[in-house]
Amino acid sequence: MTQTDTGPGAPAEADARLKLSAAAGYADVPLAEKERLFDEVRADPRFGDYLYGCYECGICVAVCPSARFYDFSPRRIAQAAAREDAELVYQQMVEDIWECSQCFSCVRCPRGNNPGGLVTIMREVAINNGLASAKEALVGYSRIIYKIMSTGTQVSPDMLQEDAFPDWGPETADVSVNLDLWRRALPPETLHTTNTGWKVADSTLIELYLIWLHTGALDMIADVDPSLHAILTEVMEERLEEEGIEI
């Protein structure tokens, strides 16, 4: 694995007149490395179905929710790939692809392109190559990953703190004060939990952990967040030992 990316950096020092390539920046990353990553994107078997040719019409941007809130453009994603612009594709893998919500509204492209699908591939390549942007993007998810892997459920009621979910409104604060009471008011007993979404059997948890282990999901976490990986391993080793399972 090669550590290549340097975060959003200063403008490239390349020939200022050659703005087509220099606009992408990241001049400290060799072009050959950017091309290698782009080749990896293009080599994906889905690539041909996700990109035909781009009219540059902007319908994908018009329907893109992320484009309304971020400096993100599915058109530019498709264009950069169509133009075989490895510099710009690299820039997007560092800066843009994490702003896509993967809703795939962009598939209404008249040419049949799937810019969101290109983002999927680019994300996978970014993660597989350990780009710093992938780590940064996943930091926000580390709490959720930890939750899923250690408890078997994703968002738990006690995560719904006002500071973490301001968009949920003022009710979040009211609910969190007497969370346990609110939860016990729910009819199904399996929902009388606060630190997990619902009651999860230990055997389910072990099973999930083994799936993540064998599919390589844990290795990916090790790549992007070694400390999270260390905690998870420790927690799960204990559980596995309790269950008498050896890996």
| Residues making contact with another protein (CB under 8 A) | 17-20, 23, 52-54, 56, 75-76, 79, 82-84, 111
The pair of three-digit structure tokens given for residue 35, joined into one six-digit string:
């091309």
Nearer to another protein, 112 or 166 (CB): 112
Nearer to another protein, 19 or 46 (CB): 19
3-state secondary structure of 170: coil
What is residue 12's DSSP assignment? P
The pair of three-digit structure tokens given for residue 120, joined into one six-digit string:
């999927």
Q: Taking the C-alpha atoms of 48, 54, 59 and 63 in order, what is their torsion angle to the nearest 10 degrees?
A: 30
Minimum CB distance to another protein, residue 23 (Å): 5
Nearer to another protein, 10 or 18 (CB): 18
Minimum CB distance to another protein, residue 56 (Å): 4
Contact criterion met (CB below 8 Å) for 98 and 141: no
Per-residue exposure over 212-232, b if at least 16 CB sit within 10 Å of its own CB, e if not: beeeeebebbebbbeebbeeb
Nearer to another protein, 49 or 202 (CB): 49
Nearer to another protein, 84 or 219 (CB): 84
Minimum CB distance to another protein, residue 28 (Å): 21
Minimum CB distance to another protein, residue 105 (Å): 20
At residue 129, φ and ψ (nearest 5 deg) are -100, 10
Minimum CB distance to another protein, residue 92 (Å): 12
